[in-house]
Amino acid sequence: MHASLLKFVAQEIERYCIMRTLYEGELQIDYGQFYIWTDEQAADAYGAAFDNVKRTFAGQSSGLCGAAVRGLLYFDTGTQYGTIGARVVVTDAEPDLDDSWEDVVEVSYQAGEETSLVEWGDGDSYLLDLAAGEYRVRYAARGRDQDDEGEDEEDTEEPVEYIEITIWSAPASADRVIRITSEHGAAMNAQWLSS
Q: What are phi and psi of 60, to 5 degrees?
A: -100, 160
Q: How much is the average pLDDT of 28-36?
A: 93
- For the beta carbon of residue 93, count every other beta carbon within 10 angstroms: 8
116 CB-near residues (< 8 Å, 6+ apart): 36, 37, 38, 125, 126, 127, 128
More confident residue, 121 or 4: 121
Q: How much is the average pLDDT of 145-169?
A: 75
CB 129 within 8 A of CB 62: no
Per-residue pLDDT band for 123 (boundaries 50, 70, 90) equals confident
The pLDDT value given to residue 42: 60
More confident residue, 190 or 12: 190
The whole model's pTM is what?
0.84
CB 19 within 8 A of CB 67: no
Per-residue pLDDT band for 155 (boundaries 50, 70, 90) equals low
pLDDT (tens digit, 9 = 90+) per residue, 40-80? Answer: 666 666 665 555 677 888 899 989 999 988 888 999 999 99
Choose among 80, 46, 69: nearest CA to 188.
80
The pLDDT value given to residue 158: 82
Domains of the chain with CATH codes:
19-193 (2.60.34.30)
CB 71 within 8 A of CB 56: no
